[in-house]
Amino acid sequence: MTRYKITLSYDGSNFAGFQVQPNLRTVQGEIERALSYINQQRKTTFVAAGRTDRKVHAKGQVGHCDFHIEIPPYKLKRAINSNTDDDLYVVHVEKVDERFHARFSKHKKTYIYRINLGEYQPMERNYIYQYNHNLDVESMQKAISFLLGTHDFRAFVSENEEKENCIRTIYQASITRSLENPNILQILFEGNGFLKYQIRNMVGYLIKVGEKKVSPDEIQQVLTSKDRTKAGKRAPAQGLCLEKIEYVEEI
């Protein structure tokens, strides 16, 4: 058995999310279909570092699979890309030790959420949230600093994960303007893991701060409350992209 680590990018616009779902087109479903065909028609599971929601994009999703046959990585990359549609692309393939696990090996994830404060841009509507109004960016920058570090993020997690351990660590969190277009805000989060809807819920609250509906330091009260209802509206999915996954202790 040979284990391969696969890095892929995808446009989430036409996927019903990452995870396999009956009768729906998903990222995992598409790549497993290709892998199983290449692996001599054997059902092959693709284990990802994490799942992305419907309409969320990825530049550097990572997963692993096990093959009964051994194929040079460059040939496996070419074979997968030949058997998938143009909105999914394998960037890199490498053979790894069987102890490597895309989800459980120690890693950190980087996401960027993009918001357009300027005129509506129809060509970007699937990739940048078209907010199209001004926001108090300075207040948002103050608020996001309170999310740094290790916290129980239960207040920013989907209700159906109420019983899950919601303690996570955010290493970096920043809000900057794009150098190419100052009207585009880039909200970056780097952490050891994120829960379902966590980033979109945090961004939704930051937008609320930018609208001057709440003060920047009130985000601390939301955190400590552990009450999802206090965090407010969730930001739309299409502005979010999984930029990269870095493994701290590669085997």
Which tens digits make up the pLDDT trace of 138-173?
999 999 999 999 999 999 997 655 667 899 999 999
The last residue of a domain, from among 96, 125, 159: 96
CA-based nearest residue to 103, from 46, 162, 27: 46
pLDDT value at residue 251: 37
- Together in a domain, 125 and 199: yes
Residue at a domain's end among 96, 121, 143:
96
193 and 130, same domain (yes or no): yes
pLDDT band at 248 (very low <50, low <70, confident <90, very high): confident
**pLDDT tens-digit readout, 67-123:** 988 999 999 999 999 999 999 999 999 999 999 999 999 999 999 999 999 999 999
pLDDT at 161: 55
What are the φ/ψ torsions at residue 34 (nearest 5 degrees)? -65, -45
pLDDT of residue 158: 79
Helix axes of 27-38 and 73-82: crossing angle, nearest 10 degrees: 120
State the Cα–Cα distance between residues 235 and 237, nearest whole angstrom.
Answer: 7
- Same domain? For 54 and 113 the reply is no
Parent domain of 231: 108-247
Q: Do residues 91 and 114 share a domain? A: no
Q: Does residue 101 belong to any structural domain of this protein?
A: no
**What positions carry a catalytic annotation?**
53
CATH at residue 92: 3.30.70.580
